[in-house]
Structure 1
Amino acid sequence: MKYGLHDKPPVGTTILSALQWMIVAVSSSVAVPLMIGDVYGLQADEIGNLMQQTMFFIGLASLLQVWIGHRYPMLEGPAGLWWGIFIILAQIGTSVGLQPREIGQSFQIGLGMAGLLFMVFGLMGWIGKLQRWFTPLVSGTYMILLAVSLCSNILAGMLGIGFQHSKEVIPHVAIVSVAIVALVVLVMRTKRFSSFAVLFGMVIGWVLYAVMGWTEPVRPAEQVIAWPSLFFWGAPRWDWGVVLTSMLTGFVLLTNLVTSMVVMGKATDTVPTEQQYNRGGVFTGVSHVLSGLGGVVGMIPLSLAAAVIQTTRMAARLPFMLAMIGIMAIGLFPYVAHFLAALPTPVAYAAMFISYTQLLGFGLKDYVNVKMDDRTIMVGGSSLLVGIGVMFVPATAWQHLPALVSFLFGNGLLLGVIVCLLLEHVVFRQKGDTQKKDDHAA
């Protein structure tokens, strides 16, 4: 590690690292408001407002976490589980006569209720105890399935699928993506600039796209400063189905909080304490409440931050805190938000490719540390096969089931981890398992 959590890098290094964190935050989150806006039928200016709301609350929630929460430089970003629920319930709501905006109004309450759930678990000290269930086999399964679930989107993005509404591979985009990956690897091999490999890849790739005329024009802003507003979708609306789904989703995402902190501990060569888990839970609750107030997709700690730290060898808190203040500023200045939203998605995917491979590496390292006996093969193999297998089942195959059930069984990452937890601690529970969990937590 070049700079640890408590280190203070030189001014120039701090500024460049902060800029890199800002670009990572934008590139990992910018697609979500665009997709939600498309599904919910928002106009261009409304999508722009949702983008600004999202950026502001990402910066605020992440700053609170690194300052007084779990204190790791870990991004709070839109949870894939949340925006999946947003999309599915919008589609189901439309089929029963509800307007998408009414679903959004109900989600504002649902997110707040889920946030209260996180706060209660954190204040009661239950999250610190919950982490004992996440043995190396469980956390390894989670990281492997996370990397596998991301790989199709990453490669599709690098090949140009979805770029400028293309449904096919764009050869010249694919070639440039490979060149950007090669550039990131090359910069990583240098001692002086290795911490800024992702930044170099994104900036140079963006410049190349601009020179080739492949970028979209930046949409002009009508205001210089636009403050975030409360309840983007309108007055909160109570809907039992949406609220209960949100509560259950929040409970499921407790596992994400724990695994993300475990992985961040490995990336920063530290061991999270029980107090850190509980504080992280409280402020993940705060971020959900903020999401509900702002009407944005629910936020959780992103494991991607650990991969970025592993790639750049930069774990210092100061650059991260400055970056999150910068992200909040983006949410206040519409023109800056519109400019960064113009980053070509294939460039972002290509520059982040090596960071995503680190996620798989974390999972494989956990598996290496486990004795490969018949029990381990049964638990790990079954969990991976179930999780990966479900990823290949068409989403339409689950549409006849209730919304929550269809999303739980249609989410390979979530289902694989649940299967692993059940097999590890219930079906094939070993004698003295409690002691082993305590030793793992220690």
Structure 2
Amino acid sequence: MSKLKLKYGLDEVPPWAELILFSLQWLAISVPTIIIIGPVVAVLHFDHPGDQVIYVQKLFFITGLVMFCQLLWGHRLPLVTGPAAVLLIGVLAGQGSSMHAIYSSILIGGIILTLLSITGLFSKVTKFFTTRVVATILLLIAFTLTPTIMNLIVSPSGEQSSALFNILFAFGLILLMFAANKLLTGIWKSTLIIWAMLLGTLAYLVMSPTPALDHPGNYKPLATFFEGMAFKFSLEPGLLFSFLVCFLALSINDLGSIQSVGEMLKPGNMSKRITRGITFTGLANVLSGALGVIGPVNFSLSPGVIASTGCASRFTLIPAALGLLLLSFMPLVIGFMESIPTVIIGTALMYVMCSQISAGLLMAFGAGHFDFESGLIIGLPVLLGVVVAFFPAEVLKTMPGSLRPVIGNGFAMGVLAVMFLEHVVYRGKGIIAEG
């Protein structure tokens, strides 16, 4: 394997002009992860839009703060940080519990992860992270979020009359995203999700019979979110155990992300970088629990960005982290971001989860005759089929009788999707199966 040629190394600082451009790219990659996960959780907790915006403000703050600390004192690698999707599963499972109990569990999970890391016990726990265990966990994260994805897509405006349009629009958008993923390169591919969300929102507003763009409200341009915060510790053993299982997956994700960049850049003291990185992730989850928001994790998006730009400088992410911190005090901007129709959020979340399935399959089967794109070709049809299978009966009844046997059939939609991806989007890539 040829050595990766880098324009700027790990500890090199590019000239100011390039530093700003690279930083804007990292910021464009970081924001969608918060906008996808944040509003989904906020809506579960709060009915008032103002409270939802405050929740996302805190999420921006935590993400920017932990990214900044990781770059300077943690793993010190060019890694993007964002809210952990696996903790969303814990929040969904704990809907019968109080918010205090949910975020107390996240706080305790962060404490345990921190202690395991700084005491060196985490390295002993990793022996249980076999290939099959990790692959299964990656797949489970995607599949257990399918009801949430379905709810976001089917009823973004709460009206069944628009359900069919929302379903067709989501299917079309996700297929266009896969086609763009195949065709685009460089910064355009790295920032695909944010462009899909922006252009998808505009297309939805033009085409939808019942546009669902909510007014962001009369928020101040700049405002803090520290007022009125009061953490109250509440322990529910069953809920805590549920979150500890989620933290098991979070730690695997965090470790894998740090190692993926480490394998690519070959920096020194990787064992110390891993220890510091996971420690800061644990501390960030402690702070997240205290602030009452979902905790962060390191994302494995960086290797592709580094390879396409030739820039591995960790200093290019520092302005991006500061940008996230600045956005956390701008409720008006976040209000506009939150007004993105939920069908767009659901489609983007499905795209992210397809990547999760691909990573799980790649982990399970290795990289011999199987690669990430093959995982995507399998991942979307399988996830799409499961989402369709969850469609409520009342939604299916709104569909025309001629379309219902196809659009309401998860197996049929999955087969059509894999045939389209295999023979149109990724034409010529597959191998004919032997009978």
TM-score interval for Structure 1 and Structure 2 normalised by the shorter chain:
0.5 to 0.7
> Do structure 1's residue 77 and structure 2's residue 73 form an aligned pair?
no
> Counterpart of 1:88 in structure 2: which amino acid?
G
Question: How big is the shift at 1:360?
Answer: 1.5
Q: Could you tell me whether the CA contact under 8 Å between 1:216 and 1:342 is conserved in 2?
A: yes
Per the normalisation by structure 1, the TM-score is 0.66
Q: Could you tell me whether the CA contact under 8 Å between 2:78 and 2:302 is conserved in 1?
A: no
Question: How big is the shift at 1:52?
Answer: 1.9
CA offsets 1:14-73 (integer angstroms, 9 cap, x no match): 4244223212322232211121214xxxx4433332232232223223332344323452
SS at structure 1 position matched to 2:214? coil
> Counterpart of 1:217 in structure 2: which amino acid?
D
Question: Paired residue for 1:162, among 118, 134, 155?
Answer: 155
Question: Paired residue for 2:166, among 149, 154, 173?
Answer: 173
Q: Distance between the aligned counterparts of 2:131 and 2:345, measured in 1? A: 31
Superposition CA RMSD, Å: 3.8
Question: Given the superposition, is the C-alpha separation of residues 60 and 186 from structure 1 closer, same or farther in structure 2, using an over 3 Å criterion?
Answer: same
> Do structure 1's residue 301 and structure 2's residue 297 form an aligned pair?
yes
Question: Paired residue for 2:138, among 143, 147, 161?
Answer: 143
Q: Distance between the aligned counterparts of 1:16 and 1:351, measured in 2? A: 18
SS at structure 2 position matched to 1:59? helix
Question: Given the superposition, is the C-alpha separation of residues 132 and 320 from structure 1 closer, same or farther in structure 2, using an over 3 Å criterion?
Answer: farther
Question: Given the superposition, is the C-alpha separation of residues 309 and 348 from structure 1 closer, same or farther in structure 2, using an over 3 Å criterion?
Answer: farther
Residue of structure 1 equivalent to 2:427:
none
> Counterpart of 2:247 in structure 1: which amino acid?
L
SS at structure 1 position matched to 2:145? helix
CA offsets 1:57-109 (integer angstroms, 9 cap, x no match): 2322333234432345242315224423542313xxxxxxxxxxxx52x5565
> Counterpart of 1:291 in structure 2: which amino acid?
S
> Do structure 1's residue 198 and structure 2's residue 196 form an aligned pair?
no
Query: What is the correspondence of 1:142-291 to structure 2 with a 5 Å cutoff?
Result: 142-154=137-149, 157=152, 160-166=153-159, 170-188=163-181, 189-191=183-185, 193-212=188-207, 214-229=211-226, 232=229, 234=230, 236-241=231-236, 245-246=239-240, 249-250=243-244, 253-262=247-256, 265-266=259-260, 269-270=263-264, 273-291=270-288
Where structure 1 has 5 or more consecutive residues not aligned to the other structure, the ranges are 91-102, 372-388, 394-442
> Do structure 1's residue 366 and structure 2's residue 360 form an aligned pair?
no
Q: Could you tell me whether the CA contact under 8 Å between 1:112 and 1:289 is conserved in 2?
A: yes
Question: Given the superposition, is the C-alpha separation of residues 29 and 109 from structure 1 closer, same or farther in structure 2, using an over 3 Å criterion?
Answer: closer
Question: How big is the shift at 1:124?
Answer: 0.4
CA offsets 1:137-162 (integer angstroms, 9 cap, x no match): 221121222232234443554xx313
Q: Could you tell me whether the CA contact under 8 Å between 2:36 and 2:348 is conserved in 1?
A: no
Q: Mean Cα displacement is larger for which, 246-255 or 355-364?
A: 246-255
Question: Given the superposition, is the C-alpha separation of residues 53 and 284 from structure 1 closer, same or farther in structure 2, using an over 3 Å criterion?
Answer: same
Q: Could you tell me whether the CA contact under 8 Å between 2:134 and 2:363 is conserved in 1?
A: yes
CA offsets 1:258-289 (integer angstroms, 9 cap, x no match): 24422563477548943333223321221122
> Counterpart of 1:80 in structure 2: which amino acid?
L
CA offsets 1:351-401 (integer angstroms, 9 cap, x no match): 454443222222222222499xxxxxxxxxxxxxxxxx9xx99xxxxxxxx
Query: What is the correspondence of 1:115-154 to structure 2 with a 5 Å cutoff?
Result: 115-154=110-149
Q: Distance between the aligned counterparts of 1:46 and 1:277, measured in 2? A: 36
Q: Distance between the aligned counterparts of 1:2 and 1:170, measured in 2? A: 49
Q: Could you tell me whether the CA contact under 8 Å between 2:105 and 2:289 is conserved in 1?
A: yes
Residue of structure 1 equivalent to 2:96:
88
Question: Paired residue for 2:61, among 51, 56, 63?
Answer: 56
SS at structure 1 position matched to 2:300? helix
Identity %: 15
Q: Could you tell me whether the CA contact under 8 Å between 2:225 and 2:329 is conserved in 1?
A: yes
> Counterpart of 1:154 in structure 2: which amino acid?
I
SS at structure 2 position matched to 1:229? coil
Question: Given the superposition, is the C-alpha separation of residues 178 and 10 from structure 1 closer, same or farther in structure 2, using an over 3 Å criterion?
Answer: farther
Q: Could you tell me whether the CA contact under 8 Å between 1:224 and 1:333 is conserved in 2?
A: yes
> Counterpart of 2:297 in structure 1: which amino acid?
P
Q: Distance between the aligned counterparts of 2:193 and 2:246, measured in 1? A: 31
Question: How big is the shift at 1:320?
Answer: 4.5
Q: Distance between the aligned counterparts of 2:176 and 2:67, measured in 1? A: 29
> Counterpart of 2:360 in structure 1: which amino acid?
G
SS at structure 2 position matched to 1:301? strand
CA offsets 1:375-432 (integer angstroms, 9 cap, x no match): xxxxxxxxxxxxxx9xx99xxxxxxxxxxxxxxxxxxxxxxxxxxxxxxxxxxxxxxx
Question: How big is the shift at 1:163?
Answer: 0.5
Question: Given the superposition, is the C-alpha separation of residues 187 and 76 from structure 1 closer, same or farther in structure 2, using an over 3 Å criterion?
Answer: closer
Q: Distance between the aligned counterparts of 1:80 and 1:208, measured in 2? A: 28
> Counterpart of 1:301 in structure 2: which amino acid?
V
Question: How big is the shift at 1:247?
Answer: 7.3
Question: How big is the shift at 1:311?
Answer: 8.8
> Counterpart of 1:339 in structure 2: which amino acid?
F
Question: Given the superposition, is the C-alpha separation of residues 225 and 10 from structure 1 closer, same or farther in structure 2, using an over 3 Å criterion?
Answer: closer
Per the normalisation by structure 2, the TM-score is 0.67
Q: Distance between the aligned counterparts of 1:253 and 1:108, measured in 2? A: 13
SS at structure 2 position matched to 1:290? helix
Question: How big is the shift at 1:307?
Answer: 5.8
Residue of structure 1 equivalent to 2:45:
36
Residue of structure 2 equivalent to 1:426:
none
Question: How big is the shift at 1:313?
Answer: 5.9
> Counterpart of 2:42 in structure 1: which amino acid?
P
Q: Could you tell me whether the CA contact under 8 Å between 1:143 and 1:359 is conserved in 2?
A: yes
Residue of structure 2 equivalent to 1:429:
none
Question: Given the superposition, is the C-alpha separation of residues 137 and 247 from structure 1 closer, same or farther in structure 2, using an over 3 Å criterion?
Answer: closer
Question: How big is the shift at 1:335?
Answer: 0.3
Number of equivalenced pairs? 349
